[in-house]
Amino acid sequence: MSDFVLSLPTDPGLRAAIGEIDGVDIVEWDLDGPAPRSHIDIIVPPYWGGIRRLAKVSEVSAQLIQWQSIGYNGIEKYLPSGYPLANATSVHEAATAELAVGLAIASQRGLPRFIRDGLEGKWELQTFPSLADRNVLIVGYGGVGKAIEARLAGFETKITRLARSARDEQNLAGETVHVHGLDELHALLPATEVLILGLPLSDETRGLFDAAAFAALPDDALVVNVGRGPLVVTEDLVAELTAGRLRAALDVTDPEPLPADHPLWSLPNALITPHAGGDSTAMMPRMVSLIQRQIAALRAGERPENIVLGG
């Protein structure tokens, strides 16, 4: 019997990627049946659909619950007290930022239109807005927001940053930049041509982008959401898109999954991806590295990374 027990979901990808670790007994548990051990040092719930199953951890003693996402809104309703939970900071930021910038480029340069034309064999030149020289407002300046800023650095945009509280801090390039506070949002929106949302979901941010916020944006502004769907009041965004005044590129929606008959699907000025932000080939190796660091920290009697609840 090894001196350390790690439980992984039955998803074969993570199990194959992590391989064998000296002194670590790896068991499979999706938190939907009896616990395989009475004590598990680190429990890694399934990436999808794991939130309601967290109540099952009460069946075992554990040192850490290692979540596979950055976002953890709503978990406190299901996670029994006394169990530290770490999120997956360091795993998804790069891939999510890639998609955010990709969605912005695709929407700005009309790629959905050109793809539709190509399927019909139609050669039709049309001028679309550049990403260069646009005023970009990044809302949410944690790991994802900073990663988006870093990837926009070569596109010659004019970047404004906004987070919950105003501050000056260093970006990933080591430069000191100003971050506006949430109370300045409506003052900044009229000059925003590309709005990128990377905020976590909370009571404060739920429905933050409603009819009033959208009305403050200039005509033809682009709304990119890679944060959480309920940051946006969907009906209010649909109204603006239907009127043709705004455009949207959404990796997250409310509701989610987006029903096949939802009006967002049929709007030509909306580009939708199915919450694919962190789902790239970078995820598994980074998740494995994080789990390995957490094991090393616990074995050394040190505090694990990324504790967000119960710590």
In degrees, to the nearest 5, what angle opens at C-alpha 275 toward C-alphas 290 and 142? 50
How far CA 124 is from CA of 76, 108, 268, in Å, comes to 52, 17, 16
- Centre a 10 Å sphere on the Cβ of residue 186 and count the other Cβ atoms it contains: 12
**61-66 and 270-272 as β-strands: parallel, antiparallel, unpaired?**
unpaired
Decide if pLDDT at 19 tops 80.
yes
What's the rounded mean pLDDT across residues 298-311? Answer: 94
pLDDT at 177 over 70: yes
pLDDT at 116 over 90: yes
Q: Does domain 92-272 have CATH number 3.20.20.140?
A: no
* pLDDT tens per residue across span 192-249: 999 999 999 999 999 999 999 999 999 999 999 999 999 999 999 999 999 999 999 9
Asked whether 78 and 51 are in contact (CB, 8 A), the reply is yes
Task: Give which of 213, 174, 176, 178 is closest to 195, Cα–Cα.
Answer: 213
Query: What is the enclosing helix (H) or strand (E) of 308?
Result: strand 307-309
CA distance 266 to 244: 13
What does pLDDT average to over the chain?
95
H or E element: which one contains 28? strand 24-28
**Which of 230, 171, 200 has its CA nearest to residue 308?**
200
Report pLDDT for 73. 84
Token pair for 230: 């309920």
The answer, yes or no, to whether residue 2 has pLDDT greater than 80, is no
Residue 11: predicted pLDDT? 87
| Residue type, position 70, single letter | I
pLDDT greater than 80 at residue 1: no
pLDDT over 60 at 16, yes or no:
yes
The whole-number pLDDT of residue 151 equals 97
Answer yes or no: is pLDDT of 109 > 90: yes
What pLDDT is recorded for position 206? Answer: 96
pLDDT reported for residue 48: 84
- Mean pLDDT to the nearest integer, 114-121: 96
Q: Where in the chain is the domain with CATH 3.40.50.720?
A: 92-272
Residue in 304, 14, 17, 287 with CA at minimum distance from that of residue 29: 14
Known catalytic residues are: 228, 256, 275
- C-alpha R_g of the chain: 21
Whether 263 and 238 have beta carbons less than 8 Å apart is answered as yes
Residues sharing a CB contact under 8 Å with residue 19, sequence separation 6 or more, in sequence order:
none
Rounded CA separation 300/89 (Å): 21
Tell me the mean pLDDT in the region 241-266: 97
What is the mean pLDDT of the segment spanning 166-185?
97
Please, what is the angle between helix 111-119 and helix 93-108, to 10°?
70
Query: What share of the chain in percent tops pLDDT 90?
Result: 92
Residue 49 to residue 61: CA distance in whole angstroms: 22
User: Which residue, chain included where needed, has tokens 């965004």?
Assistant: 237
Lowest mean pLDDT among 63-77, 92-106, 150-164, 231-245: 63-77
Q: What is the pLDDT of residues 35-69, one digit of tens each?
A: 999 999 999 999 987 788 999 999 999 999 999 99
